[in-house]
Amino acid sequence: MECNGCEFKPELYYDAEYQIWLRLEEDDTLTVGMTDLSQAIAGHILHVRVRRPGTRRPPGKPVATIESGKWAGPIPNFMDCTIVEANEAVMDQPDLLNKDPYGAWIARVEVEGGGAQALQDYLTGDAAYEGYCDRARRDDIHCHRD
């Protein structure tokens, strides 16, 4: 599924602005990544830094930061969570986030209250697809692979 060339995965969970995607793992942790919309807006990503495993991050405090061109900023975080694992492959080759935004996850986190519970605040499936396309059209975002 796609909008303006931006890939969408209905089985994942998304924030209201479709900046990040979340996937529930068997151990109730959540895997966090950047959406195709986000990577398209950011441009070619040169650096990714993930907080050390074991670090607790309250809502509003990012689990990771990225840099593209001369822009730097956070991957937004809306949960009270602790970093379990960082994707070393992405830290070594940050533009994997551009090339394969849904394969190249950023971090795995353990959420206060559990991952399944936390996902109730996020969008998924058809409703998410509609919102995702609205955002792509509203902000005139088009995706392409390098």
Q: Looking at beta carbons only, is 26 or 140 nearer to another protein?
A: 140
Q: Closest distance between another protein and the C-beta of residue 75, in Å?
A: 11
The residues binding another protein (CB under 8 A) are 17, 19, 41-43, 46-47, 49, 65, 67-74, 76, 92-93, 139-141
State the nearest-atom distance from the C-beta of 121 to another protein, in Å.
Answer: 17
CB 56: neighbour CB atoms within 10 A? 13
Q: What are phi and psi of 131, to 5 degrees?
A: -65, -40
Contact 57, 43 (CB under 8 A): no
Inter-residue contact 144 to 8 (CB < 8 Å): no
Identify which of residues 24 and 63 has a Cβ nearer to another protein in the complex: 63
Nearer to another protein, 27 or 92 (CB): 92
Contact criterion met (CB below 8 Å) for 102 and 33: yes
- Least distance from C-beta 111 to another protein, angstroms? 20
